[in-house]
Amino acid sequence: MNHFKRFLIYLWAPFANLLWYTHTVVMATISLILWPFDRTGAMQHWCAQWWCRLVAWSIFARIHISGTENILPDRPYVYMANHSSLIDTPALFACLPYQFRIMAKKGLFRVPFMGWHLKTAGNFPVDRSNPRKTALSIRLVIEGVRAGKSLAVFPEGTRSSDGKLQEFKSGAFKIALRAGVPIVPVAIRGTSKLLPKGSLAPRPGRVEVIIGKPIDTSAFSEKRLEDLMRQTRSAIESNLEGGAMRPAGAAPETRAITSA
């Protein structure tokens, strides 16, 4: 990266971060206004999608998606994606075509605007204050997924510092097994270059979100949990390492969600 480009990135960074917060306040406010008119969460999810698209535009990220033909609109899933950047969550919300929920620490639900949206949109708070409350939180997540709410999680648990897959944690896999829903492996490519862990200066660039084929959890049991985790990891890894990123417009199955 040449010095002039680096200078422009750091010059724009404070404005990009300010816009990120501004988009959050504006779209969360709209979400709260719409909430009394639609308790299905569809309007709140629409607000979240547009919040994330606005974030992408403000940092000049171009997000493309492929593999949407692998998922159905009327079936709940547990989406599992790799995690290497703060941009991963906006990328998922911006491009996944159907509603889903996330799990977040209970304290985040008290944060003005963002937390209010999380609560009214039906996302799942996780209370980690003690094991009993954590177990109850997870039980409510399982019941929600079983009732038809898709869930998106990062099975690594935390962001990767080098963009490579870390070890998966078993919690999300147990949720999918106990809820009896398929796991959809999702590979997110390019976000670690746009905003690596530890940086607050987003770079412009291209992101690819690749939706893999669902993995039927009914073929597994908790005794075979490691097999399920390996199969999911392999599916994500194969798309992460599936060659160079496609140039814009090169692949007919790739649909641009945002563009700079």
DSSP bridge partners of 78: 151, 183
What distance in Å separates the CA atoms of residue 138 and residue 136, rounded to the nearest whole number? 5
Task: Provide the pLDDT confidence category of residue 127 given band limits of 50, 70 and 90.
Answer: very high
**Average confidence (pLDDT) over 213-224:** 94
Say what the pLDDT of residue 58 is.
Answer: 92
| pTM of model > 0.85 | yes
CATH, domain range 3-256:
3.40.1130
| Domain range list for the chain | 3-256
Rounded Cα–Cα distance for residues 29 and 23 (Å): 10
Beta-carbon count within 10 A of 143 CB: 13
Q: Which long-range contacts (CB under 8 A, 24 or more apart) does 159-162 make?
A: 159/83, 159/84, 159/85, 159/86, 159/88, 159/197, 160/82, 160/83, 160/84, 160/192, 160/197, 161/196, 161/197, 161/198, 162/84, 162/192
**How much is the average pLDDT of 242-258?**
48
Rounded to an integer, the average pLDDT of 111-128 is: 93
**Which whole number is the average pLDDT over 215-234?**
95
Question: Is the pLDDT assigned to residue 253 strictly greater than 60?
Answer: no
Q: What is the mean pLDDT of residues 107-136?
A: 93
User: Position of tokens 């985040």?
Assistant: 108
Residue 150 has pLDDT above 90, yes or no: yes
Length reported for the chain: 260
Q: What's the average model confidence in pLDDT over 167-175? A: 95
- The band of 164, judged by pLDDT with boundaries at 50, 70 and 90, is confident
Q: How confident is the model at residue 1 (pLDDT cuts 50, 70, 90)?
A: low
Residue 180 has pLDDT above 70, yes or no: yes
CA distances (Å), 111 to each of 41, 78, 105, 116, 118, in order? 19, 26, 11, 7, 9
Which DSSP string do the residues of 153-215 spell out, in sequence order? E-TTSS--SSSS--PPPSHHHHHHHHHT--EEEEEEESHHHHSBTT------EEEEEEE---B
